[in-house]
Structure 1
Amino acid sequence: MTSHVLHLCPTVDVSKSWGVMRPIRSLNNFSKRCYAAARPREALTEAYAAHKSSAVALPAPQNVQVSKLPNGLVIASLENYSPVSSVGVFVKAGSRYETAENQGVAHVLRLAANLTTKGVSAFKLCRGVEALGASLSAALSRESVVYTAECFRDDLDNILEYLVNVTTAQEFRPWEVNDLTPRINIDKDRAMRSPRLGVVEKLHEAAYKNALCNSLYCPDYMVGKVSPQQLHSFVDDHFTTGRMAVVGLGVSHSDLKQLAERFLSVRSGAGAPAVKASYRGGELRVQNKDQQVHALVVSEGGAAGSAEADAFVVLQRILGAGAHVKRGASVANKLSRGIAKATTRLFDASAFNASYSDSGLFGVYTVSQAHDADGVIRAAVAQVGGVAEGGVTADDVVRAKTQAKADYLMSIESSHGLMAEVGARALADGVYRPPESILRGVDAVTLEHVVKAARKFVDGKKTMAARGHLINTPFVDEL
């Protein structure tokens, strides 16, 4: 899932200035671990060698608990005894739910997370969160918008007051919404300066007829034109209990359930019906003077949570999902080895895999010099064709499955990664699949499944997006 986080109380990083000592990191930047047990609160007064083990019994590790209220609200929590508590409100209100009339409303909604609400002013919101040493953020993907609050465990009640206001009591005052226009432009321009992000946005626009074709960013013709009425209408249609999930880490399930029943049940119901994404295939090209050409060639992949999606995950690792050594080259994967035969110049290539609730995209992503683009792109596509024809061994599959499982386990090692995983599953299915279940799904992938996934890419209708000096970049119908 692609997300973009807006911190309401940003901190200034002076560690990059010359001659300035690196300061202690703020609470927002702690590398938080998922604690398995509580730390005894006794002070250590003896030397370590002579210290005797404490008689305090440590609480047993708990599993993720999931409840679903009669109004459809899903509540998931993990009491991991961390000194820092995190609570996230996940809402099915991503950019895919925009219509032709309100394009960009989800982007504006994310940026409006720090505006005045019915219970607290924008000034009090920022100062109150800052005084607690906490953080309050909003993130947007094509599937959902997520509001997350993090603070010390003892301050949880206070920070949740702000979180409830941000998610259930929006006001969208016209003058405050108008003031968002410069931030919308800055946010969009900063993101679009990334060639990779730009080509991914164009890829989705070309690949789908509706829903998933919507950009994460407000289109130019709608900047400054998304009205408070449109924001209120979007919230009324999508911020309902049947489309929401509340996830807590470092908080008891009973406390989180009580909070949700009391404050987050103001809009009951299923909300607006979901629109199924329709894959079409196509091509979009952005011509400029960049000598590096970024290109994506994909076919429709597997929907999230399906066995087919697991096969595409393994296929991605076989082809190459990026370097495993920092600043290193992916010299061991099939894409790199195959493309190296087509050019002697520097290039980058990896398999692209994106899964959504009802569709997915799978293909190859290449970065090359403008005059080498044709050979690099064709060589990358040919490597997938080689797998489809059986050019893969059982050892390749075993190695790829090991990489996939390790990547997944490391992704949920941090509290941010774990919350994203729990929230996505709770929002999509109303349940949580433990890591053991995910690993069993990867283990069940066979050589035949991988070959079938590669064949689906080869036989499927292609979508292509390219950006750069496209003097020697092939069109999708030429591949």
Structure 2
Amino acid sequence: MACNANKAPFLRSIAKRGLASQCPRPLGQAAEVQSTVLNNKLVVATAEASLPITRVSIVLRAGSRNESYENQGAAHLLRIAANLSTKNSTAFAITRNIQQVGGSLSASNDRELVTYTVETTANQIETGLRYLQDLVQPAFKPWELADNVPLLRTQVSSVSPQERAVELLHKAAFHSGLGNSIYIPKHQIGKLSSESLLHYVANTFTPSRCAVVGVGIDQNTLSGFAQNLELASGSGKSNSTSYYGGDARKDTAGNVAHVAVAGQGGSLLNQKEALAFAVLKQAVGSGAATKRGNINGTFGKALQNAVTDASVSYKTINAAYEDAGLFGFLVSTDGQNIGKAVDALTRALKSGSVSSNDVNRGKALLKAAILESYSTDSSLINVIGVQAAHLKQVQSIESLLSAVDGVTQQEVQEAAKKAGSSKLSVAAVGNLANVPYASDLA
């Protein structure tokens, strides 16, 4: 079957003008980003690439927080449907034509966003865009959904206990909205109809909830592509989320326990607070920076002092969403020592004390992470996609680094006190014999 990518008039103009090809920026150099808001409120952002590879993402605020009780799992199915037929193309045609040009088409989802991304060489982006635009018009053919039930069951059963603890943490913290899992509940597998999924798409695939971002493509070219996307009219319904706190537990076989504990964090729309929590995450420590290296920060030191004779792993949780957030930790160890580990880390979380040395180290680590994300194409497409979808703009690397430098020790301590003084959320999976409840940690 011949490629019919050039049947779309606008895409033919891309091929004719060759605007998708730009001179790559030097490897390791942070990218400059351009962003504009179209008349229909859709955001377009682009950056130069460091390699002759073009990446384009359609980012939609259609994540699981938008699900109701009746259509839980819809966002997960949107990710699955990226490999299925659309209103304009069959699954076979999409796969064959993308593979013919050596490209890839992928989808991802989280609590707030559903993202479709195409990657091709710069001279083949015409074909990539042709099939990327098809993904925002899914067909949800009943027989294809039925064929993918085994895949859904496999994905749900493959969720690690650490991931399951984080999912339960959100359930305990927010109940609904942000409390909805990014994975379809087992009782919903095979139950969502094509009509309910199309209704979900109509409410969430709208221009005001969408951003189109690209790396290695011209801004005007991508703006023209974005204007031609066939999205539903209206602004869609936005779900507000309240923080509650509490417990969510799941006993499983074995002698290992995985426990996640968190308090209220910062929201993305409050940049000063979000950056303070981002610095705090680096300041309290997320483990050794090198293999067998020393663990810096209050979390690491507290855990080392509490558990000296057992294998233990932990990471700091800083989940920032549009209007809410969580800050805390996830720890895993054997059932006999989990109580001591959780108690020690909770005391460190509730202390609200962060030294100036920890703050300075946290700022340096955060700036290094920002520089790396703006310098690597695969990370850059994700960073600008999140900013464009939530903030309706993309910050330059200079302004973002300057904002990090402006974070004070007092702001970081206030962030730590907010997380530690709020009602805690506690989620646990595994051997829970010695796992404390939220009321025990108050």
TM-score, normalised to structure 1, is 0.83
Question: Which moved further from structure 2: 144-153 or 430-439?
Answer: 430-439
What is the match of residue 319 of structure 1?
284
What is the match of residue 277 of structure 1?
241
Alignment partner of 1:368 out of 333, 337, 342:
333
**Secondary structure class of the residue paired with 2:244:** coil
Q: Distance in 1 between matches of 2:437 and 2:100?
A: 55
Equivalent positions of 1:202-213 (< 5 A) are 202-213=168-179
In structure 2, do the counterparts of structure 1 residues 132 and 473 end up closer, same or farther at CA, with 3 Å as the change threshold?
same
Q: Distance in 1 between matches of 2:294 and 2:144?
A: 48
Name the aligned partner's letter for residue 220 of structure 1. Answer: K
| 2:213 pairs with 1:244 | no
What is the match of residue 7 of structure 2?
none
In structure 2, do the counterparts of structure 1 residues 37 and 252 end up closer, same or farther at CA, with 3 Å as the change threshold?
farther
Name the aligned partner's letter for residue 108 of structure 2. Answer: A
**How much does 1:339 deviate?**
2.2
Equivalent positions of 1:41-440 (< 5 A) are 63-80=32-49, 82-167=51-136, 169-190=137-158, 192=159, 194-261=160-227, 263-270=228-235, 272-305=236-269, 306-325=271-290, 327-328=291-292, 331-345=295-309, 346-386=311-351, 388=352, 390=353, 392-440=354-402
**How much does 1:224 deviate?**
0.2
Residues paired across the two proteins, number: 416
**Do the aligned partners of 2:258 and 2:428 also contact (CA within 8 Å) in 1?**
yes
What CA RMSD, in Å, does the superposition of the two structures yield over aligned residues? 1.9
**Do the aligned partners of 2:317 and 2:328 also contact (CA within 8 Å) in 1?**
yes
**How much does 1:81 deviate?**
6.5
In structure 2, do the counterparts of structure 1 residues 319 and 290 end up closer, same or farther at CA, with 3 Å as the change threshold?
farther
**How much does 1:329 deviate?**
5.0
In structure 2, do the counterparts of structure 1 residues 429 and 342 end up closer, same or farther at CA, with 3 Å as the change threshold?
closer
Q: Percent sequence identity over matched residues?
A: 35
**How much does 1:366 deviate?**
1.5
Q: Distance in 1 between matches of 2:318 and 2:26?
A: 36
Q: Distance in 2 between matches of 1:333 and 1:184?
A: 40
In structure 2, do the counterparts of structure 1 residues 331 and 102 end up closer, same or farther at CA, with 3 Å as the change threshold?
same
**How much does 1:137 deviate?**
0.4
What is the match of residue 18 of structure 2?
none
TM-score, normalised to structure 2, is 0.90
Higher Cα Rg, which structure: 1
Alignment partner of 2:25 out of 22, 26, 36:
36
Structure 1, gaps ≥5 residues long: 1-33, 39-59
**How much does 1:269 deviate?**
2.9
Q: Distance in 2 between matches of 1:35 and 1:375?
A: 52
Q: Distance in 2 between matches of 1:105 and 1:259?
A: 26
Q: Deviations over 1:351-385 (max 9, x none)?
A: 21110000000112212221111111111111233
**Secondary structure class of the residue paired with 1:467:** strand
**Do the aligned partners of 1:95 and 1:106 also contact (CA within 8 Å) in 2?**
yes
**Do the aligned partners of 1:90 and 1:244 also contact (CA within 8 Å) in 2?**
yes
Q: Distance in 2 between matches of 1:435 and 1:348?
A: 33
**Do the aligned partners of 2:288 and 2:296 also contact (CA within 8 Å) in 1?**
no
Q: Distance in 2 between matches of 1:450 and 1:133?
A: 46
In structure 2, do the counterparts of structure 1 residues 266 and 298 end up closer, same or farther at CA, with 3 Å as the change threshold?
closer
Runs of 4+ in 1 over 3 A off after TM superposition: 79-82, 327-330
Structure 2, gaps ≥5 residues long: 1-22
Q: Deviations over 1:276-299 (max 9, x none)?
A: 111110101111223221111111
Name the aligned partner's letter for residue 248 of structure 2. Answer: L
**Secondary structure class of the residue paired with 1:470:** coil
Name the aligned partner's letter for residue 152 of structure 1. Answer: T
Q: Distance in 2 between matches of 1:410 and 1:106?
A: 29
**Secondary structure class of the residue paired with 1:385:** helix
**Do the aligned partners of 2:108 and 2:115 also contact (CA within 8 Å) in 1?**
yes
Name the aligned partner's letter for residue 285 of structure 2. Answer: G
**How much does 1:447 deviate?**
1.7
Q: Distance in 2 between matches of 1:207 and 1:458?
A: 14
**Secondary structure class of the residue paired with 2:390:** helix
In structure 2, do the counterparts of structure 1 residues 330 and 226 end up closer, same or farther at CA, with 3 Å as the change threshold?
farther
In structure 2, do the counterparts of structure 1 residues 62 and 367 end up closer, same or farther at CA, with 3 Å as the change threshold?
closer
Name the aligned partner's letter for residue 365 of structure 1. Answer: L
Q: Distance in 1 between matches of 2:36 and 2:260?
A: 41
**Secondary structure class of the residue paired with 1:216:** coil
**How much does 1:330 deviate?**
5.0
In structure 2, do the counterparts of structure 1 residues 373 and 157 end up closer, same or farther at CA, with 3 Å as the change threshold?
same
Name the aligned partner's letter for residue 135 of structure 2. Answer: V
**Do the aligned partners of 1:287 and 1:468 also contact (CA within 8 Å) in 2?**
yes
Name the aligned partner's letter for residue 154 of structure 2. Answer: I
In structure 2, do the counterparts of structure 1 residues 328 and 258 end up closer, same or farther at CA, with 3 Å as the change threshold?
same
What is the match of residue 10 of structure 1?
none
